[in-house]
Chain A
Amino acid sequence: MRVVVDFDLCESNAVCMGIVPEVFEVRDDDFLYVLQEEPAEELRPKIEEAVRRCPKQAISIEG
């Protein structure tokens, strides 16, 4: 599983960070950082929730 963020769409609402802080982090510069691009499989349900809840539909999962 690979987490992909379209940074042209992302506007740093930080919803993903609220759901999976292990993977997504919005820092003080207001930009989103993906902490793990290939996270453990057990995080998949939470990442899928982050995909659904992203206000800009900027996150996708490959594989």
Chain B
Amino acid sequence: MEAVAVVGASLAGLHAARALRIEGFAGRIVVVDADRHDPYDRPPLSKQFLAGTWDRDRLTLAPVREELDLDWRLGRRATALDAGRRSVTLDDGEVLAVDGVVVATGTAARRLPGTDGIAGVHVVRTLDDAVALRADLDAGARRVVVVGAGFIGAEVAATCRGLGVDVTMVEALATPFERVLGPAVGSVLADVHRDHGVDLRAGVGVAGIDGAGRVEQVRLSDGAVVEADVVVVGIGVVPATDWLEGSGLTVDDGIVVDETLLAAPGVVAAGDIARWPSARYGEALRVEHWDMAIAMGEAAARRLLVPSHGSPAVFDHLPWFWSDQYDRKIQLAGRAGADHAVEVVVGSVEERRFVALYGRDGRVDGVLGMNRPRHVMQLRALADERVAWDEGLARARALG
């Protein structure tokens, strides 16, 4: 193999490029990304960068500053992939003829239908998104409506409250985070936001956004009207697979890869965009976590180097994520959901410093902590090994 194209220079793509070098690949690595900025870390966009406590330089991803001998194509969009010929076409007509391709174009933020062209309506996915939102806040926005109480929305709400801005958070589910963390933990998080002065409207949708050129109010499905200077939409993401039409890859809510992250001979995918069959859970997973993007990028790079660097390895990294909201840190190792059993094993919900185990089918599926990083790390093995539920409870309580 002499040349590799890495399409998508965010976390998964950059760590794939770095791993190629660490594994000794000395050929050409072309790194493409539609975003014109030096690749940056996304988690601070809704927190430290939005709050103004971190500047842009601090967001630059570490591999950018390393001597990885990368051939950059920033601000250039890949428009087509021919998996059979292993060629990538860019928006300016350049064709990259390579031996290996890492597809890591990630996801794009979903937008509210009918809001194009209304100033003051934001998503937070890219650096430019965060700069634009920050500019509206700096210009004196006093009333923010957050649509969608997912992790991005909740973090933006927390940051805005920290800036002294009024926040109304609108969530379609009866309890925020109900689908991903279950109603019990979801209601704890809802209370954290209420206690910080967020006007939480749960169980309602958005009927429309009104304003003459610029947002003035948000109409809710229950008939309520909320005045707004700024709207932040956090209703999830969609895999950025448009450019892969006709590529020969299988696209089904992401790129379908095998258990070694191979999408086609010489083509691997990593990060938010890749859907792989998880042996751990017996189903195909597409995970949008920071830590997973790094693990997948590294594994995909090694897969690309087979057979010159070993044999294919099965990818089954344990999901893990964190979210910081106000002074609370939520971490989850494994997985959780509305249909899981939930048991607090360390600390208490009342002090908002606890560990909860999530169980399904008689086994531990997830370890969730609120302000308990040590315990989450010490107990993550319960989710990793999916130990029997009773044994997991006993081991966790012994630690607490």
Contacts and interface: CB of A to CB of B under 8 A. Distances in A.
Contact of A30 (B15, B290, B373): B373
Nearest to B62: A57
Contacts of A39: none
B56 interface: no
26 contacts: A11-B324, A11-B329, A12-B329, A12-B373, A13-B322, A13-B329, A14-B376, A14-B377, A15-B291, A15-B320, A15-B377, A17-B377, A25-B374, A26-B374, A26-B377, A27-B374, A30-B371, A30-B373, A30-B374, A52-B15, A52-B18, A52-B294, A52-B298, A55-B43, A57-B41, A57-B62
A53 interface: yes
Q: Range of interface residues on chain A?
A: 10 to 19
B377 A55 contact: no
Given A11-B329, A13-B331, A26 B373 contact: yes
Contacts of A14: 373-374, 376-377
B374 A17 contact: yes
Nearest to B353: A30
A52 B18 CA distance: 10
Contact of B380 (A18, A26, A27): A18
Main secondary structure on A side of the interface with B: loop
Report the 5 A-B pairs with minimum CB-CB distance, sorted nearest first: A14-B373, A14-B377, A26-B374, A18-B377, A17-B377
Interface of B: 15, 18, 41, 43, 62, 290-291, 294, 298, 320, 322, 324, 329, 331, 371, 373-374, 376-377, 380
A62 interface: no
A26 B378 CA distance: 10
Main secondary structure on B side of the interface with A: helix
Contacts of A18: 377, 380
A42 interface: no
Interface string A39-63: 0000000000000110101000000
Contacts of B43: 55
Nearest to A25: B374
Interface of A: 11-15, 17-18, 25-28, 30, 52-53, 55, 57
Contacts of B373: 12-14, 26, 30
Give the residue among A11, A14, A27 with the most B Cβ atoms within 10 A.
A14
Contacts of B320: 15
Contact of B322 (A26, A27, A52, A55): A55
A18 B379 CA distance: 10
A28 B380 CA distance: 17
Contact of B294 (A17, A27, A53): A53
A57 B54 CA distance: 14
Given A13-B322, A13-B331, A18-B380, A53 B291 contact: yes
